[in-house]
Amino acid sequence: MNPTRKIRVLIVDDSAVVRKLATEALSSDPGIEVVGTAIDPYVARDRILELSPDVLTLDLEMPRMDGLTFLRLIMESRPLPVVVMSSLSQRGSDYTLEALRLGAVDFLGKPSGSYSFGDLGAQLIAKVKAAAAARVRPSRPVPPAALRPARPATPPPRPNLHPRSVVLLGASTGGTEALREVLINLPATLPGIAIVQHIPATFSKAFADRLNTLCALEVREAIDGDRLAPGLALVAPGGFHMMLQWAADHYRVRITGGPPIWHQRPAVDLLFKSAADCGAAPHAIAGIFTGMGKDGAEGLLRLREKGATTFAQDEASSVVYGMPKAAWECGAAQIQLSLERVAPYLISRCEAAQHSSPAHVPAIP
């Protein structure tokens, strides 16, 4: 896209208030032009053909045709970057996750009962700009259960892992689907996995719960003090930072407040740096997935310098090649991987570590 040309945005929402607020917020940025609005998908269809927008903002609950059905039609006939604007309810969270699976680039929770966007305006501007530069991905169907690693009826035997073995993953824009594609292909015998995905508080539990229904691993939103064990993946709760601590013979997570880092809470950097500082690095595999900005690069570099195995998602498979690029260019990532290669890579590296290190090696002080 020509960097000197304004990003052309079409706003699709049945609420006149939301259309007005979104138009005002986006129009305040000199690099964005709101070329039109639409009250439902039927009007939006005609506006897309007439106006050729670069980015669409899309409400999911509208009359005549719901947003998910319209999004599916867009991605089949005329794919373009879509930022979903969703309610903060449980149903809104579920709809949003399905929209991301269908190909939406990003999402923003709509304020309820408010006539002001507040800081959501700045977030909407940032998400629209990221979407304009994003690679639109067609939806990928969830593999049939028969093709996914099965969750055992009883917990599998504890693998022969070093007690400090851990997998650390960070992601932002496009990350919910990237993480889903990786985690559904991992067995329940891997070390504990700690995940930071940039996501609002209302959506993080729905994201973890959805993954839990698809994966052989147990996946859940982290609670302060949770023990990180093999076969378990903990997702940082939206709106809070997550850090790793070593407690005698196992890891526990700390969930804390504090200021945003790189404008994010949770922040990938805080998880990675805490892991490096508590002695995890020599037995850690850490990676950064698609997303805008630089969050995670500094922490990944610290992990690599202390002996961790590190990687970043490659440009071709990233929706937004920002965070992985920052990690690669500063030397934090040892290798770049396409998304489809990440799960096999994690499995092979964990198996190699398992065969090279006895399970009862004394813990690093």
Count CB neighbours of 313 within 10 A: 31
| Catalytic residue (one of 93, 106, 162, 198) | 198
Any catalytic annotation for residue 198? yes
State the Cα–Cα distance between residues 300 and 148, nearest whole angstrom: 30
State the Cα–Cα distance between residues 185 and 187, nearest whole angstrom: 7
| Catalytic residue (one of 241, 295, 314, 317) | 295
- Among the listed residues 242, 337, 357, the one whose alpha carbon sits nearest the alpha carbon of residue 296: 242
Any catalytic annotation for residue 295? yes
State the Cα–Cα distance between residues 106 and 146, nearest whole angstrom: 30
- Among the listed residues 292, 224, 279, 293, the one whose alpha carbon sits nearest the alpha carbon of residue 252: 224
Strands in 216-337 per DSSP E = 218-221, 227-228, 232-235, 241-247, 250-256, 284-288, 309-313, 335-337
Q: How far is CA 55 from CA 79, 131, 140, 264, 319, in A?
A: 10, 7, 21, 23, 14
State the Cα–Cα distance between residues 347 and 317, nearest whole angstrom: 20
State the Cα–Cα distance between residues 350 and 330, nearest whole angstrom: 25
Backbone angles phi, psi at 274, to 5 degrees: -65, -35
Cα diameter, the chain:
67
State the Cα–Cα distance between residues 87 and 108, nearest whole angstrom: 9
> Is the CB of residue 32 less than 8 Å from the CB of residue 54?
no
| Catalytic residue (one of 172, 204, 274, 318) | 172
Any catalytic annotation for residue 15? no
State the Cα–Cα distance between residues 59 and 179, nearest whole angstrom: 24
- 259, with CB counted inside 10 A (0-12, 13-18, 19+), is exposed
Residue type, 50: E
Catalytic residues: 172, 198, 295
